[in-house]
Amino acid sequence: MPKRFRMTRRFNVAMTEDGYRRLRRLAQEAGLDEGEALSFLFENFDSVIDEDTFGHRLRLFNSELDARKK
């Protein structure tokens, strides 16, 4: 029996413009809305990310975060 897809959590999310544009493009290409695309990404996180570059990308993002907020 297929798992029922219910949106059970709603929360405010602050995103960069680049991140939101990429999310919208992913959602459009996949035929999903933005919430469904986020659910897909997080439900499949381990198989979606490249483990070899994830840590490096995260460190870069964190190092630039304060400057991007200004």
Q: pTM value?
A: 0.76
pLDDT class of 7 with cuts at 50, 70, 90: confident
> Does residue 8 fall inside a structural domain?
no
Domain interval for residue 32: 17-41+48-69
Domains identified in the chain, total number: 1
pLDDT, greater one: 24 or 11:
24
Contacting residues for 26 by C-beta, under 8 A, at least 6 apart? 32, 37, 41
Instruction: Report whether 34 contacts 25 (CB < 8 A).
Output: no
Residue 1 lies in a domain: no
Q: Does residue 30 form part of some domain?
A: yes
What is d(CA 60, CA 54) in angstroms, rounded to the nearest whole number?
10
Contact of 41 with 48, CB cutoff 8 Å:
yes
CA angle 55, 57, 58 (to 5 degrees): 65
Q: Report the pLDDT averaged over residues 24-44.
A: 94
Residue 54 lies in a domain: yes
27 pLDDT exceeds 80?
A: yes
